[in-house]
Structure 1
Amino acid sequence: MAKAQETVLELNLNSLSHNFEYLKSKLKPSTKFLGVVKAFAYGSDAVVVAKHLEKLGVDYFAVAYVNEGIVLRENGVTTPILVLHPQPINFKALIEHCLEPSLYNAKVLNEFIETATKQGQKDYPVHIKFNTGLNRLGFSENDIPFIINKLKSTKCVKAKSVFSHLVASEDLDEKEFTENQIKKFISIAERFADLIGYKPWLHLCNTSGLLNYPNAHFDMVRCGIGLYGFGNSFKEDKNLIPIASLKSVISQIHNIEKGESVGYNRSYRASKSERIATIPIGHADGISRIYGQGKGFVSINGKSAPIAGNVCMDMLMVNITNIECKEGDEVIVFGQENSASNLAESAGTISYEILTAISSRVRRTFTK
């Protein structure tokens, strides 16, 4: 594999295939697999990832917003796409691009029915979202009679699925809470099906739900972070492979003396004679200032180099005093050998945040 000569996000599609097959192996053959490709496929490349997953046989995709789904459609993705958080202003465009909305309150349900009616739709697939404890989006169980009445009073839409979202499926200390969520969801789904007169698909599990709660796989599971190589636990991380490696290069090396400072605001001062390397990546590329002051680190020639001082907009500096390296050497910000989870943890955040923060100005490369 070629060494990086600039800042690049290298995406390994073989690793994506491995993760998909591993996660799918946990399911019954009848359980559908939805790949979550929102936020540029967790900071990678939604079009490339979606097209690869299509070849692997994914059943559904999910995005957060309508424009994300439109980009996929305009690039030839034909698999059904669930839009998790659509806004009414985009309903017409959603229908024009054959996207499927999550309807999560009375306002969006009423406005989507109105738009679908104007567009002459019949049995347009919609997904009814219920809140079972996350308290973010979703109808309450008490809303079921209202929803059923609205759906039965029109022929323009039909409930394709009923779904909810687990709160803490990765945290086994919250197992009781999660089991209660599952029970509540089953109760909602059974009541909904009895009143509507048919059985919509049911889906509840995210990646950690898939791995920890096989009793809740139902008709479909929704996998995001697992596809990209993270299982939310040390045990499962070993079974998955991060698909993204953020690489850069040493632009310049400075030899500084005791008492000299590095970077803006003189926030780092050498305690002895030190060597400092400048790397062409900064907070405009997604490496936040929270990683500065020695919290974050990169890997150079297999050794960890802590970030010195504040992260700049386009650059960061690292301490290489104890590392044999030279200008032009490759730098691993995160990847298989320096996990994004470990880097995120060093600054008190999570892998999701650093992955999705990588700027579009960082060139993406693809390898198999």
Structure 2
Amino acid sequence: MHTDQLTATPAAAEYGARVGLLRARMTEQGLSAVLATSPENIYYLTGLDHLGYFAFSVLIVPAEGQLTVVTREMERPTIRAQLPECRHLTFGDGTDPAEATGMALAGFGNGARVAVEESAMFFPPAVHARLLRGLPELCWTDSTALLSELRARKTDAELTRIRRAAAVSDAAMRAGIDAAGVAVPERAVASAVHGAMYRAGGQQPGFAPLIRPLRMLDQEHVSWGDRELVEGSGLFLELSGCVDRYHAPLSRTIYIGHIEPAAEEAHARALAGLAAARAALRPGVLTGTVYAAWQRAVGAPGAAALRHHCGYLVGIGFPPSWVGGGEVLGIRPDGQTPVAAGMTFHLMSWVTQPVGHVVSDTALVTEHGAELLTTVGREPIVVR
């Protein structure tokens, strides 16, 4: 077990303001500390940007005083370089991260209310259980909703990054469209997409681009491979640029050689759905109302024809996801979440009738409606 008490330096104003907002909410809820274990929340509060999150990491935010980071020992130089103002405790390989986390919490009094991200995919249940058993004197609660709520509305600084990510997404999508053609393998499209993404100023996205033929459209997260594009077939391409860990996804459906009448009808339905969802996406509207508008526009009244959502909140993302965790706010049937200005959604119009077709863009909710940040043309796309 190792510990560093690093010399405090002024935190960046942006992260300091976020911690201050969290602490105000903690005071309202009577919390002594909040534990963030997802990469997105740790990054949101501190700016820690690395790929070491695959190993257990936790940020402890007390109601007052110095923040503490607990990581694998190997990450010591990274934490020292990026978060010199934080206290840093580490655990070695083969040792228990719950023990190091317990040490960081040892100073809290009997009955102190401590909130921990119970739903985070990066918080192993075994570590969680050992932590709770080791500190039974604390009153444990869940911080998942609190942290998600803080990140839902983006600041102007965050929106600048998302707009830049949208420009990267546009460049990558255009490169993928230009690369597609008869007998072109999917990996060639992927190569063009990745090259354009990084040349345009992006970094590694939280989720690899999704590239697959329309006959496999329902296999939603399969990897691209050596399959060659065939005359008369369709290609689904979904991707996101990433700037400072902020994402702006979009998708387009591409037709090889020509487009069939059924696909033209599906395209028209999908485009109508996107327009309707965008028009409904306004401050104060419930997410279920946005979904209902999309559903009416695509002409899918029956349950069998429905998608589980027509969009979801997007922003900070680390591998393996660009949506910011295993659970994310979606625009779903009967959704009761109020839409607010400053939210950014991956707005998706995915239809299956008369054939599968998808069009999507990143949408920013403004005071007066929704702005589409990704701009690649939405007309039917046919490549030769």
| Shorter-chain TM-score above 0.5 | no
Q: TM-score range by the shorter chain?
A: 0.3 to 0.5
Q: TM-score, normalised by structure 2?
A: 0.32
Greater C-alpha radius of gyration: 1
Q: TM-score, normalised by structure 1?
A: 0.33
